[in-house]
């Protein structure tokens, strides 16, 4: 597995990471814990050194899973987690609201350190920008944690350009994590040019369009009642039918390259910039191996032009989030 550096920070990780959220949260019931520990360790054996979790996934259970799975590999892997939600006091899923007050960040970090079984969090993201707390105060709190040796790198998630600049002025931002894929390209307008200018790495989540770009989902697919795609406008049966055109494009390129649609979708991201590291999630070993195979696929400039040209003629249907979740992004 090739390595990549997240911007100018010097933080080196595998070219493809592993998003662990779906093992515990978001995409149906939590999966078998021992099975997921085995999957995470299989990823390490195959060269993955970058693992993504968050306090809110579960809540807490995903960090505990990742901490247990990666305990034998301390110092060999990079674990990213996130703060910024006010969680329910009874531990039920979801959140009450946002909370990035400095004292809350420091308390959240202590909990994450315990669950992850680490002395320092490698990459600590603000999960969503809190409009009630100046980003300078957030960066200052993380800076304190870095000085205390409890955090190594600072990140933001789904932040807007002005917030990224203001945070970066207080404490260098190592990486921005935001949704980015062939079916969500808005970051190209302002965010990616700003990251390049500032030397900030980019970690695209949902690089396979929440599973849609794999070609395994169509208008007739039924999701579990607890799967959050049930409330995503882009996943209504009508939208899925319309958006099939994008999957068909990936399939055409994949056939030529003797690859799968998922591998082409990931290879396309890897070809955009050398400081982009996608973090596809999965709960299946075969899918993990398929995703990691994308790192070996090189798309030529001509193939990239062909994909861009064909994709530009396809209008993706449906919003990527329900309105109340979309409002929390791009601030």
Active site residues: 57
Cα–Cα distance between 44 and 140 in angstroms, integer? 33
The residue whose two tokens read 């970690």 is 203
As beta bridge partners, residue 227 has 27
d(CA 209, CA 216): 12
Alpha-carbon distance 230 to 45, whole Å? 34
Question: d(Cα 231, Cα 236) in Å, to the nearest integer?
Answer: 8
Pairing of strands 12-14, 3-5: antiparallel
Which of 78, 82, 30, 76 has its CA nearest to residue 55? 82
Taking the C-alpha atoms of residue 31 and residue 48, their distance in angstroms, rounded to an integer, is: 21
What is the full DSSP assignment across 213-266?
A: GGT---TT----TTBGGGG-GGGSHHHHHHHHHHHHHHHHHHHHHT--HHHHHH
């Amino acid at each position: 597995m090739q390595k990549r550096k997240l911007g100018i920070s010097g933080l080196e990780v595998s070219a493809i990471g592993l998003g662990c959220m779906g093992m515990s949260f978001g995409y149906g019931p939590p999966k078998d814990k021992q099975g997921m520990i085995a999957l995470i360790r299989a990823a390490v054996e195959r060269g993955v050194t970058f693992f993504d979790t968050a306090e809110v996934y579960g809540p807490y259970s995903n960090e505990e899973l990742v901490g247990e799975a990666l305990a034998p590999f301390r110092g060999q892997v990079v674990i990213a987690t996130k703060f910024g939600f006010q969680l329910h006091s009874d531990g039920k899923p979801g959140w009450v609201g946002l909370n990035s007050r400095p004292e809350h960040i420091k308390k959240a970090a202590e909990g994450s350190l315990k669950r992850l079984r680490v002395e320092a969090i490698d990459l600590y993201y603000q999960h969503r920008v809190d409009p009630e707390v100046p980003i300078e105060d957030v960066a200052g709190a993380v800076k304190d944690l870095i000085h205390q040796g409890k955090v190594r790198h600072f990140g933001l998630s789904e932040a807007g350009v002005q917030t990224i600049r203001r945070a970066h002025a207080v404490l260098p931002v190592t990486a921005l994590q935001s949704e980015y894929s062939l079916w969500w390209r808005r970051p190209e307008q302002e965010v990616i040019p700003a990251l390049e200018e500032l030397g900030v790495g980019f970690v695209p989540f949902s690089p396979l369009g929440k599973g849609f770009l794999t070609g395994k989902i169509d208008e007739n697919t039924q999701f579990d009642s607890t799967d959050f795609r049930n409330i995503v406008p882009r996943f209504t049966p009508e939208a899925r039918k319309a958006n099939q055109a994008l999957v068909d494009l990936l399939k055409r390129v994949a056939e030529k390259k003797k690859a799968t649609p998922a591998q082409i979708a990931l290879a396309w991201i890897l070809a955009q910039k050398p400081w982009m590291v996608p973090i596809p999630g999965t709960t299946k070993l075969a899918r993990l191996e398929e995703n990691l195979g994308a790192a070996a696929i090189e798309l030529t400039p001509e193939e990239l032009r062909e994909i861009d040209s064909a994709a530009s003629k396809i209008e993706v249907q449906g919003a990527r989030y329900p309105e109340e979740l979309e409002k929390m992004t791009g601030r």
